[in-house]
Amino acid sequence: MNDEQLELFPSFRKAEITVSPDFSEKNMVSIRYNARLKRQIRCSANGIFGRPELILPEYMKSDDFAKSRDLAAEWATYALRRKTQKNKARIKDILSRFWQSIDQVLAERGETSLYVVEKLPPIISKGNHHDLEQIFAAVNETYFNGKLQCRITWSNRTGGQSFHSIRKDPFTGESFHLISISRGYDFKNCPFFAIAGVVYHECLHIAIPPKQGSKRRIVHGKIFRQHEKRYIYYDEWQKWHKEVLPENIRIMRKKR
Ligand SMILES: [Zn+2]
């Protein structure tokens, strides 16, 4: 449709007017953006006339998130009120609908979920001393009846972090779980039970996905911690994790 044709349909024009991303008129809430936020929103009482101010992840600035922003603004007005039982329930409900709407917009854009990180690191499961594939198979068999599906790799990060993420296969376009284990575990001094411990922990993140609480995502909730302790070498692994791993990471960083 060209400009002339548009004149015949004024309503089309109207629909094209962009909504301000800096203010939710419906709720009188001003909005700021933070590029570091991903799956978290915040609010304060710093808006105009003591109204709430909402802080959203930068990517929510675009027009397709306008309705989601109104939901978030509604959340902000309740989040700053007294936390009565009723209010807490309402906050939780709005927040859950808000994240659902975000996922919907992303799905419409062809982006599966926020947890999907586009760039795929090389997947290397054979380390200098330990083969993660082997350890994963044992953990999977023992604790998940061999039903867990994921890929596993030694991490390139030097921070000593092990983590779970959802990636997209560049060839098939399918999403898969990826477990990344800190190289600090790929040492001769690392016993099998320690690697199996961290692998089990990351596997649990697949079996017990994070839940949305009233303020933030609950990653290591009560149920997660209960399950984590079912690992028979839990105490031994924790001891190794606290006492030996930091030293291995120090050595690792020196080598770089
Ligand atoms: Zn964890």
Looking at the structure, do residues 79 and 26 belong to the same domain, yes or no?
yes
Cα(220) to centroid of ligand 1, in Å? 6
Entry pTM: 0.56
Q: What is the pLDDT of residue 184?
A: 95
Cα(219) to centroid of ligand 1, in Å? 7
The verdict on residue 10 lying in a domain is: no
Q: How far, in Å, CA of 125 to CA of 220, rounded?
A: 25
The verdict on residue 6 lying in a domain is: no
Cα(97) to centroid of ligand 1, in Å? 25
Cα(164) to centroid of ligand 1, in Å? 8
The verdict on residue 2 lying in a domain is: no
Looking at the structure, do residues 104 and 142 belong to the same domain, yes or no?
no
Which of 158, 210, 145, 147 is closest to 184 using CA atoms?
Answer: 158
Q: What is the pLDDT of residue 83?
A: 87
Looking at the structure, do residues 81 and 120 belong to the same domain, yes or no?
no
Looking at the structure, do residues 124 and 196 belong to the same domain, yes or no?
yes
Residue found under tokens 């930091």: 246
The verdict on residue 56 lying in a domain is: yes
Q: What is the pLDDT of residue 221?
A: 92
Cα(203) to centroid of ligand 1, in Å? 9
Q: What is the pLDDT of residue 113?
A: 55
Asked if residue 158 lies in contact with residue 249, where contact means CB atoms within 8 angstroms, the answer is yes
The verdict on residue 7 lying in a domain is: no
Q: Which residues of the chain have pLDDT under 70?
A: 1-18, 107, 110-120, 170-171
Looking at the structure, do residues 198 and 224 belong to the same domain, yes or no?
yes
The verdict on residue 132 lying in a domain is: yes
Looking at the structure, do residues 152 and 236 belong to the same domain, yes or no?
yes
Neighbouring CB atoms inside 10 A of 74's CB total 22
**Domain range holding 186?**
116-255
Cα(20) to centroid of ligand 1, in Å? 38
Q: Which of 63, 90, 108 marks a domain boundary?
A: 108
Tally of domains in the chain: 2
Cα(231) to centroid of ligand 1, in Å? 14
The verdict on residue 1 lying in a domain is: no
